[in-house]
Amino acid sequence: MTSVDSSPHASPRRFSEHTTARVGGPAGRWIRADTQEQAVEVLREHPLPDQAARERGEDTLIVLGGGSNLLVTEDGFPGTVLQLAFHGISTEAHGARDVLLSVAAGHDWDDVVRFSVARGLTGLEALSGIPGATGAVPVQNVGAYGADVAHTLKDIQAWDRSRGELVRFTNEQLQFGYRDSVLKQTTVHGSPRYVVLQVRFMLQNRPDGLSAPVRYGELARTLGLDAESADHERRAPLKQVRSTVLGLRQGKGMVLSEGDHDTWSTGSFFTNPIVPREVAASLPDGAPRFSAGVDDAGSPLVKLSAAWLIDNAGCGKGFGLPDGPVAGRGTQGTGIAGGRASLSTKHTLAVTNRGSATTDDLLAVARAARDQVNTAFGITMHEEPVLIGHAL
């Protein structure tokens, strides 16, 4: 059944009660769709506005999944929130070892990973512990520990708000890049053209129960593997990989926990900058650098570590707290936002709510960290979360 804010059983109307950063004001109307059909019914009522209106942030609709990548102003949103709350996972064998995994957009992402690992399906294990709903993971090509969803995603079904119809995109048609896809490219100030309703992955059922090759150095070392060795030597038992990833994420405050304010965030706030090779060469020798292909002119690109840049610009763990790094203590010594928000005390990429922060508090810390990096290294950082009603 679809519930709306006028129903006695309606969901709370404030974004702070539905987002992992726990900030944000009320919505004009809140609709919870418990089936795909109910979601489509609401989407038909909210066709895509013209480009000019979208550029002004005047869409009448926000689509919400797990709320892990969204920051809305404390003034809230006057339009309609469509919360995708429909769940479901199914599998279908394709040949001797391939298995098609179909997932409803509202299904909790980590539950999908847990499901796949429990059934011996290889491909998603390194993506354990990432908060949010499954429908959001293709939008930014979500990734961690050397894996991203583009490695295993087969296709998606979505609602095209421009044409008013269901469409399907293959992996190739989604044009995946680093934290990017055609879904993200066609979203303007939080106004999506395409709303994901189902995601399908092609996974492997390996008789030996081993993972996909581990690509990420930290994860490989923790598992006792050599990240530089051949693929067949960089595999480990699926359950061990999942538990190790969860342990690493928990140590960085990247697994949601009610009592741990380091987890009250949108996860990694900044993307890793991708810059021309000559820009990367201007950084100190210790700055991590990774090949990122070439630009349209064929010139080499390099991906940098946002965490390293932030840390080495004087914005270490706890930046923004009264007892944190000096640059974040503020003119009165009480912290940039009075200590209500800060970079995580466990990991410099997350901007965290220390318990009573507002959206403005979180953005004040993020701006300060961004500006410190720009001053120190001449590199502009860009945010990952969707910002509604404000800008960084």
Where in the sequence numbering do the catalytic residues fall? 179, 268, 384
Closest CA to 70 of 19, 110, 109: 19
DSSP one-letter code for 262: G
Contact of 365 with 320, CB cutoff 8 Å: yes
CA dist., res. 22 & res. 67, Å (int): 9
Helices (H), the chain: 36-44, 51-55, 109-118, 182-185, 217-222, 238-251, 277-281, 306-312, 359-377
For residue 87, give the 3-state DSSP assignment: coil
Retrieve residue 32's tokens.
Answer: 């919870």
Contact of 73 with 391, CB cutoff 8 Å: no
Closest CA to 306 of 339, 351, 244: 351
- Cβ-in-10-Å burial (0-12, 13-18, 19+) of 343 comes to buried
- Cβ-in-10-Å burial (0-12, 13-18, 19+) of 100 comes to middle
Helices (H), 5-160: 36-44, 51-55, 109-118
Retrieve residue 94's tokens.
Answer: 């394709």
Q: What is the 3-state secondary structure (H, E, C) of 142-158?
A: CEECCEEHHHCEEEEEE
Helices (H), 232-345: 238-251, 277-281, 306-312
Q: Are strands 386-388 and 70-72 parallel, antiparallel or unpaired?
A: parallel
Contact of 333 with 323, CB cutoff 8 Å: no
Closest CA to 138 of 212, 67, 216, 200: 200
